[in-house]
Amino acid sequence: MLIVVPSETLPGERRVALIPDSIKKLIEMGAEVTVQCGAGELSGFKDEEYRAAGAKLSDDRDQLLASGDIVLRVTKPDPTEVSQLKEDAVHISYLDPYNESELIRGLADQGVRAISMEMIPRTTLAQKMDALSSQANLAGYITVILAARKLDRIFPMMMTPSGTIAPVRVFIIGAGVAGLQAIATAKRLGARVEAFDTRPVVAEQVHSLGAKFVEIDLGETGQTADGYAKQLTEEQLQMQKEGMKQVMARSDVVITTAQVFGRPAPRIVTAEMVKAMKAGSVIVDMAVETGGNVEGSSLNEDVDMDGVTIIGLGNLPSEVCRNASEMYSANLLNLLSEFWDEESKQVQLDDSNEIVQGCLITAAGKIVNQAIANLNQ
């Protein structure tokens, strides 16, 4: 079975789907692997390292895509490249299936078995394959580093003969995977950290990291079966904004991480709330790629609003592309290993398996994931 790794084509994308160490393990399992020349260059993995791991190298992208039994990428393919994939090939990458109907229909029409890494179930068994979580961990770290670079103050308390510098106040909105990592990173840098989430169940995790959990009474909230926050009513959103505004007014840094899977990000920070902050403060909108949590944020731009800087950098994991590639590659290796048949040296996707049922989007000329199929009727 031939596994191919093409270079990423999305502007600004520096990650690579497989690193040499993972390729070595796949070859030991009985797979053949071909990597496009230069695919790992931006992540610091040279062609020589891939060759030493046992991979073949190709500078013919068209032939590479056409020959692969399994095609591994980070980002979704360009729709123009779908027709180059062979029928029954397995294509694994992020696909954004809730918003990319044309791409999904194209993959189905081509007869490709398309797996969406966003749709890996959040279960104990699938945890080692969960790329959303692995990349969100890194994104949470990066948000704090971005804020520290932009802020005109140091994070920790510092006692000197000249006097004592108070620690900065950091407010994290959303205590999912990214938010918890942001809390941990800000604490390690010496900040005083407060955090809010609509799910009271995460308060214990926030406290365990040394942060204060901000309680805002919103009535009935909770989380979905997959662990995501449920969508709030308009009345609840207004109550949330009033409570957060008070915390933001005393904060030097605000990091927003609120996202609703498959939908535009909720707008939870208004211009009025931003203007309540002190001049020189910094906001990092981690959800800017899906519409943004913060009014006035702009993708890949720093926006000044009354002296408050709003950072809207997208594709945050790519900022630490080497580690991000290592973690994503491990997710892919674990996924392939789970369904690898030792006897045939093939990936066998069992339709009855709960992981396959969650992440397999197209197969045999059809959209087989029911939730995505309903969107494309």
Can you give the residue range of the structural domain that contains 21? 2-130+321-375
Instruction: Name the catalytic one among 93, 133, 281, 318.
Output: 133
Same domain, residue pair 187 and 329: no
pLDDT > 70 fraction of the chain, expressed in percent and rounded = 97
> Which residue is catalytic, options 228, 298, 302, 337?
228
- Residue 78 is given by DSSP the state P
Please say if 228 is a catalytic residue. Answer: yes
130 is annotated as an active-site residue: yes
User: Do residue 289 and residue 142 come from a single domain?
Assistant: yes
pLDDT in tens, 288-341: 999 999 999 999 999 999 999 999 999 999 999 999 999 999 999 999 999 999
Number of domains into which the chain is organized:
2
Domain harbouring 29, CATH code: 3.40.50.720
Give pLDDT tens digits for 195-224: 999 888 899 999 999 999 999 887 665 555
Tens digits of residue pLDDT in 259-295: 888 889 999 999 999 999 999 999 999 999 999 999 9
Could you give the angle at the alpha carbon of 40 between the alpha carbons of 330 and 132, nearest 5°?
35
Instruction: Say yes or no: 121 and 142 in one domain.
Output: no
Torsion angle, alpha carbons of 143, 76, 359, 85, to 10 = -160
CA-CA-CA-CA dihedral for 183, 185, 317, 125, to nearest 10: -70
Last residue of a domain, one of 296, 319, 342: 319
User: In terms of domains, do 279 and 165 share one?
Assistant: yes
| Same domain flag for 213 and 199 | yes
Do 222 and 107 lie in one domain? The reply is no
Phi, psi of 163 (to 5 degrees): 135, 180
Q: 203 and 102, same structural domain?
A: no
| 364 and 281, same domain (yes or no) | no
Candidates 130, 197, 252, 285; catalytic one: 130
Whole-model pTM: value is 0.92
Residues 145 and 289 in one domain: yes
Instruction: Say which of 61, 98, 105, 122 is annotated catalytic.
Output: 122
* Domain finish residue from 284, 302, 319: 319
163 & 251 share domain:
yes
Catalytic residue among 21, 61, 67, 127: 127
Q: Are residues 361 and 301 in the same domain?
A: no
Residues 180 and 35 in one domain: no
Task: List CB contacts of 238: < 8 A, sequence separation 6 or more.
Answer: none
The string of DSSP letters for 184-214 reads HHHHHTT-EEEEE-S-GGGHHHHHHTTPEEP
| CA-CA-CA-CA torsion sign (197, 200, 202, 207) | positive
285 is catalytic: no
Q: pLDDT for 11-47, tens place per residue?
A: 999 999 999 999 999 999 999 999 999 999 999 999 9
